[in-house]
């Protein structure tokens, strides 16, 4: 079993740190991806998903860009991860839970998995984008 935030979720966090760290200033996708070292092709897909989830909004035009759709203190890490990814990908199990040959191992994994899922959701809902901005020393 492997634990961790997926690359896609990490890129979403990076993009939002860039957008949220600029206060009320609009941020271009090119700037956000370059400043946070996110490949542009990933950034485009991720920002689209963040828009659909109501986390960012776009302003078109020559001086357009992206801004947060709501305050950074109202956007949780759970909102971000579920906008671009499947929370279940945070814990990667190499075996199919229903296909375990060893019943005891399967039961153990399922019990542990269920507790981990609850803990992960609890942590992700308790951390806001504002918390991350504060930890990075950004404005927000």
Give the Cα separation of 42 and 75 in Å (integer): 21
Tokens 């990490």 sit at which residue? 10
For the whole model, what pTM was predicted?
0.82
SS3 21: coil
DSSP secondary-structure letter at 55? S
Residues lower than pLDDT 70 in the chain: 1-3, 22-24, 91-103, 105, 138-140
Q: What is the pLDDT of residue 111?
A: 78
Closest CA to 8 of 57, 80, 79, 70: 80
pLDDT in tens, 78-109: 999 999 998 777 765 554 545 566 667 677 77
Contact 33, 46 (CB under 8 A): no
Q: Please give the pLDDT value at position 91.
A: 63
The predicted pLDDT at position 3 comes to: 59
């Amino acid at each position: 079993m492997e634990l961790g935030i997926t690359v896609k979720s990490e890129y979403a966090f990076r993009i939002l740190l860039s957008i949220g760290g600029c206060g009320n200033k609009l941020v271009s996708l090119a700037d956000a991806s370059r400043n946070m070292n996110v490949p542009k092709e990933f950034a485009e897909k991720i920002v689209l998903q963040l828009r659909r989830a109501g986390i960012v909004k776009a302003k078109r035009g020559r001086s357009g860009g992206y801004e947060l759709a709501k305050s950074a203190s109202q956007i949780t890490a759970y909102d971000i991860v579920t906008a671009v990814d499947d929370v279940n990908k945070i814990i990667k199990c190499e075996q199919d839970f229903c296909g375990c040959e060893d019943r005891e191992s399967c039961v153990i994994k399922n019990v542990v998995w269920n507790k981990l899922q609850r803990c992960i959701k609890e942590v992700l809902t308790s951390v806001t984008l504002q918390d991350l901005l504060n930890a990075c020393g950004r404005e927000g």
